[in-house]
Amino acid sequence: MATHESNSTVGSGSKTSSQGCDTPIDADSLSGSEICSTVSVTGDVWRFEKENGRTYHGYRAGVYYYPNDSSEAERLEYQSCVIDFALHGALHLAPLSDPITILDIGTGTGAWAIQMGDLYPNATIEATDLSPIQPTNVPDNVQFIIDDAAEEDWAVPENHYDYIHTRVMMGCFEDFREIIRRGFKYTKPGGWMESLECMHPPYCDDGTMPDDWPFKEWTKTMDEAAMNAGRPLRIATRLKKWYTEVGFEDVHERVIKIPINRWPRDPHLKQLGTYWAENLLAGLQGFTLALFSRIYLVKVRKSITDPNVHAYTKVYTVWGRKPDPSKPSTNSANKSNDLGLKTNGDVSQPTHIDQSAVSVPASVLPEDVDTPMPFAPATISDSYVCSEALAVPLPASPTMALSWETSTGPEDIPLPVSPTSFCRQHIGNRHIQNSHSI
């Protein structure tokens, strides 16, 4: 994160307006000397590049290939909500205990950082991104900083953070191993780092996905284009190895399947697939506009919504603890740490697979077991049993009923497919003090 001279703080918990400078910088969060040095970069920060009707970041222009306009901000909010739904509400899988300093790299709209600020009110959450698209009305302990994690110097002492988080950073860096290495450098002994990534290309268990399926072809072409741009997409399956290589211990990997559209028969997975297809459709143009023609994307859009192809995305989450020389090493890499790591101190029931009427918790299955996903119409007897609070029928109406387990108990939330309505209602329900509009 370079130096303070190249950082720009665009939002923090302070609700007062900046004083002394006619800039969008929150003066209360900076010292006088920092204000003077930060003003010099605000022109680049707020001067977005325009291309094909979309806008892109101006600070360190060209290193990130995806847009930052209101449409993409809305999609990022929606994607965050869908991932929350996929993880049954868990904001992290690493076993955190009263963290004091938290860093979110590539925060986007800041949705995850805001939720963490609300969840851990005694912690300081720093969230960085290349674009100033975050809200200003946020929890007092959340600060957004315009910065580039690819820089060698992160402008903080080594061993500084209790927890470092990244989510969906594929295609963002030349070498994500370097981000993990720097994360290890700046994590406190005994602290944790965690990365969640989606894996290209799509997977299929039952042979319904042909090799020439347009969405599959699109992912292959995207991979090639990203490699040519020096920003590889296929990093998810390498995270665990990279975490171990840089020195993290107690390294875990959790893989979940997210269906592409509503083809599964399980109600929870059917909802999840519907939401994920909406996320892909909303982002497809922004992902590829500079590289693909709009005519080609017509076929890809149709393929995403084709329920006859039972495809899904694999989402990998890897987390590891930095060794603490003052404490004996306890490598529990083979011990499962299921999805109920967070939610007000309670451990929720892990998702499990029901096979031949014998329920086998995922926690006792080998981590590399690849369980086929059920689909409709069913030709296999396996069923995917998920949290009772989340497994609800999918109404025919565009408005879907989703039950979330919150601190006050289960609540039925009307969940329109619209990304904007989805995120506003969902994030509001999670008691996030965030009144910004997309």
Pairing mode, if any, of strands 101-105 and 142-146? unpaired
Taking only Cα atoms into account, the Rg of the chain, rounded to an integer number of angstroms, comes to: 21
Q: pLDDT of 151-195, one tens digit each?
A: 878 889 999 999 999 999 888 888 999 999 999 999 999 999 999
Q: Which CA distances in Å does 100 have to 30, 39, 117, 125, 363?
A: 20, 29, 11, 8, 29
What residues contact residue 85 under an 8 Å CB cut-off, 6+ apart? Answer: 271, 272, 275, 390, 402
CA pair distance 48, 73, nearest whole angstrom? 14
| Domain, as residue range, for 295 | 4-429
- DSSP-H helix ranges across 290-387: 294-304
Tokens in use for 146? 């315009």
Tell me what pLDDT residue 237 has. 95
Tokens in use for 201? 């290309």
Tokens in use for 374? 């059920």
Q: Answer whether residue 398 is part of any domain.
A: yes
Residues of the chain with pLDDT under 70: 1-43, 46, 58-62, 290-296, 329-438
Query: Counting beta carbons within 10 angstroms of the beta carbon of residue 175, is it exposed (0 to 12), middle (13 to 18) or buried (19 or more)?
Result: middle
CA pair distance 208, 210, nearest whole angstrom? 6
Spatial CA neighbour of 109 closest among 143, 138, 132, 93: 132
Tokens in use for 399? 């408005």
**Does an H or E element contain 311, and which?**
strand 311-321
Tokens in use for 171? 């295609």
Q: Answer whether residue 322 is part of any domain.
A: yes
Rounded to 5 degrees, φ, ψ at 33 are -65, -35
Q: How far does CA 27 lie from the centroid of its chain? A: 29
The CATH number of residue 175's host domain is: 3.40.50.150
Q: Answer whether residue 145 is part of any domain.
A: yes
Tell me what pLDDT residue 372 has. 58
DSSP assignment of 36-62: HHHHTTHHHHH--EEETTEEE--TTTT
Q: Which CA distances in Å does 84 have to 92, 117, 219, 398, 401?
A: 10, 16, 24, 20, 16
Residues forming a β-bridge with 126: 103, 143
How many separate helices (H) and strands (E) can be counted in the chain?
Answer: 10, 15
Tell me what pLDDT residue 412 has. 34
Q: Answer whether residue 435 is part of any domain.
A: no
CA pair distance 121, 29, nearest whole angstrom? 17
CA pair distance 45, 43, nearest whole angstrom? 5
Pairing mode, if any, of strands 249-259 and 311-321? antiparallel
Spatial CA neighbour of 8 closest among 16, 23, 160, 108: 23
Sheet holding 249-259, edge to edge: 8-12, 142-146, 124-129, 101-105, 161-167, 187-204, 311-321, 249-259
Q: Answer whether residue 23 is part of any domain.
A: yes
Q: Answer whether residue 438 is part of any domain.
A: no
The answer to whether 417 and 274 are in contact (CB under 8 A) is: yes
**Does an H or E element contain 217, and which?**
helix 214-228
The answer to whether 197 and 316 are in contact (CB under 8 A) is: yes
Number of domains in the chain: 1
